[in-house]
């Protein structure tokens, strides 16, 4: 009997675990979502027990497998960038995972600032490398030399395969991996830890191994199922949109404004938070502004925004020139930590004020893509939009007027779908 090929993507985040199964034509066959408990927070410390992820992954895979008519061919996992844990050689965690937004490693970040080159993705207290150095200080160098440092997606792939020494180029960027030279840089040895704890790095979408036999029996999934190296959640979500050519861009209109653009060359400007992920023979360059939907919610309720939206006039500019921020400070497209919000003059008419904010965010988006172009990327040929703001068709038209490029509706926006595409790519490569 010839079975249809089924590819599964798993998106493991801070609030949930989502699975998506697709066929060879990229059609969704099944989806399943399981909520996760909120990570524990103590000030700047944010932790979660890795066992929570594993139990969720097993549940999601079992549910998908029971729904599908044929065995799963391949699985790929994406996880939150810079969420890390330390494990022994058998993959048993030494303690809780430090989540992507855990910022306790302030002293370690200063160490990195003094040693690492400016264009590495390892800078900052939330970077994977800063967390690694903090964990080293916690358990001691001697014990540390007998383990592996892994990201969220790495560890879960290890639980499925028994390989706890493998990661991907996207997750490792904030650990200090050099995506241009494609190896761990020599400067990383200056921190005094055993570099053997660092994972072997593969391009996302590389075959790791078939499913472990005992896990296959435990989950009721075929032992022939192949596990494919994954990526970060934001890159999986990018892949889900359908953007795949140089000049394709994705704008995320959430609480903040995040831009990502496929480039034929890497772009780095650490001062402005611009760095590039390698995507096989292309690059994904991006930056994040502090403007965005959070500013709108400072002035209006969601119901008020919904009521005003039908009255927007995209074809008629308000000529209001704001810099909408919730609080002082901007990082991209300009690095200006002291920049103050500018939302004056405020018209009496709230609809005009609302549209003026939307236009101003659109201009910042345009400036962002112009900034990437000035650093060597091409200007967008097409822009896909994700996030809550993507639902506002009037805002889409306003932005298209400003950007001067066509707006493309994403194929999908869920990271799990992007991870499923990655599983398919890796298996068929």
How far the first Cα of the chain sits from its last, in Å, is 24
- Compute the distance between CA of residue 415 and CA of residue 429 in angstroms, rounded to an integer: 21
- Compute the distance between CA of residue 227 and CA of residue 153 in angstroms, rounded to an integer: 12
- What is the maximum alpha-carbon separation in the chain? 71
Q: Could you give the C-alpha distances from 105 to 132, 138, 215, 272, 324, in angstroms and in order?
A: 9, 11, 35, 21, 31
pLDDT value of position 192: 86
Query: How does strand 382-386 pair with strand 407-408?
Result: parallel
pLDDT value of position 273: 83
CB 259 within 8 A of CB 288: yes
* Segment holding 400, helix H or strand E: helix 393-403
- Compute the distance between CA of residue 418 and CA of residue 241 in angstroms, rounded to an integer: 8
pLDDT value of position 323: 98
pLDDT value of position 234: 92
pLDDT value of position 142: 52
CATH architecture, domain defined by 7-235+416-428: 2-Layer Sandwich (3.30)
pLDDT value of position 3: 67
CB 225 within 8 A of CB 211: yes
Burial 170-188 (b: 16+ CB within 10 A, else e): bbbbbbbbbbeeeebeeeb
pLDDT value of position 14: 78
CB 360 within 8 A of CB 322: yes
CB 390 within 8 A of CB 253: yes
In this prediction the pTM is: 0.92
Burial of 315 (0-12, 13-18, 19+ CB in 10 A): exposed
Q: Could you give the C-alpha distances from 106 to 11, 134, 270, 281, 355, in angstroms and in order?
A: 29, 9, 18, 35, 40
pLDDT value of position 63: 96
Class of domain 245-410 as given by CATH = alpha beta
Q: What is the CA radius of gyration of the chain?
A: 22
Q: Say which residues have a Cβ less than 8 Å from residue 128's Cβ, sequence separation at least 6.
A: 82, 84, 122, 149, 151, 171, 172, 174, 175, 176
Q: Say which residues have a Cβ less than 8 Å from residue 165's Cβ, sequence separation at least 6.
A: 148, 199, 200
CB 148 within 8 A of CB 164: yes
Q: What is the pLDDT along the chain (429 residues), one digit of tens a residue?
A: 456 899 999 999 878 999 999 999 999 999 999 999 999 999 999 999 999 999 999 999 999 999 999 999 999 999 999 999 999 989 999 999 999 999 999 999 999 999 999 999 999 999 999 999 999 888 765 555 568 999 999 999 999 999 999 999 999 999 999 999 999 999 999 998 888 899 999 999 999 999 999 999 999 999 999 999 999 999 999 999 999 999 999 999 999 999 999 999 999 998 888 999 999 999 999 999 999 999 999 999 999 999 999 999 999 999 999 999 999 999 999 989 999 999 999 999 999 999 999 999 999 999 999 999 999 999 999 999 999 999 999 999 999 999 999 999 999 999 999 999 999 999 999
CATH 3.30.420.40-classified regions of the chain: 7-235+416-428, 245-410
pLDDT value of position 377: 96
Structure tokens at 329: 């400070």
DSSP class per residue in 61-118? HHHHHHH-SS---EEEEEE-TT-EEEEETT--BSSPEEPTT----HHHHHHHHHHS-T
Structure tokens at 145: 């030399």
Burial 327-346 (b: 16+ CB within 10 A, else e): eeebbbbeebeeeebebeee
Determine the distance from the C-alpha atom of residue 374 to the mean position of all C-alpha atoms in its chain, rounded to a whole number: 24
């Amino acid at each position: 009997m010839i079975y249809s090929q089924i590819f599964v993507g798993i998106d493991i985040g801070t609030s949930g675990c989502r699975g998506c199964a697709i066929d060879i034509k990229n059609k969704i066959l099944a989806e399943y979502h399981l909520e996760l408990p909120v990570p524990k927070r103590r000030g700047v410390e944010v932790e979660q027990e890795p066992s929570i992820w594993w139990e969720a992954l097993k549940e999601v895979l079992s549910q998908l497998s029971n729904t599908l008519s044929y065995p799963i061919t391949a699985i790929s996992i994406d996880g939150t960038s810079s969420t890390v844990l330390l494990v022994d050689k058998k993959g048993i965690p030494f303690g809780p995972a430090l989540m992507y937004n855990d910022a306790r490693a302030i002293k370690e970040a200063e160490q990195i600032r003094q040693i690492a080159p400016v264009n590495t993705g390892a800078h900052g207290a939330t970077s994977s490398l800063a967390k690694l150095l903090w964990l080293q200080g916690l358990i001691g160098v001697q014990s540390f030399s007998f383990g592996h440092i892994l990201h969220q997606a790495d560890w879960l792939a290890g639980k499925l395969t028994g390989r706890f020494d493998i990661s991907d180029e996207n997750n490792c960027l904030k650990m200090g991996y050099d995506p241009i030279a494609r190896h761990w840089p020599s400067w990383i040895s200056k921190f005094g830890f055993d570099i053997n704890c660092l994972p072997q790095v593969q391009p996302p979408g590389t075959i790791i191994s078939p499913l472990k036999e005992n896990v296959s029996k435990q989950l009721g999934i075929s032992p022939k199922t192949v596990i494919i190296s994954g990526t970060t959640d934001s890159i999986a979500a990018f892949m889900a949109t359908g953007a795949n050519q140089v000049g394709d861009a994705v704008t995320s209109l959430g609480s903040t404004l995040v831009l990502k653009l496929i480039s034929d060359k890497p772009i780095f400007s650490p001062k402005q938070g611009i760095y590039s992920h390698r995507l096989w023979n292309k690059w994904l360059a991006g930056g994040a502004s502090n403007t965005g939907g959070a500013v709108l919610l400072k002035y209006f309720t969601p119901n008020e925004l919904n009521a005003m939206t039908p009255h927007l006039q995209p074809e008629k500019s308000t000529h209001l020139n704001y810099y909408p921020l919730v609080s002082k400070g901007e990082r991209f497209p300009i690095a200006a930590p002291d920049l103050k919000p500018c939302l004056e003059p405020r018209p009496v008419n709230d609809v005009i004020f609302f549209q003026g904010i939307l236009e101003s965010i659109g201009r910042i988006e345009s400036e962002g893509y112009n900034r990437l172009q000035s650093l060597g990327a091409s200007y967008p040929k097409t822009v896909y939009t994700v996030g809550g703001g993507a639902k506002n068709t009037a805002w889409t038209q306003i932005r298209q007027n400003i950007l001067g490029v066509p707006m493309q509706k994403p194929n999908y926006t869920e990271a799990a779908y992007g991870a499923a595409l990655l599983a398919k790519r890796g298996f068929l490569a």
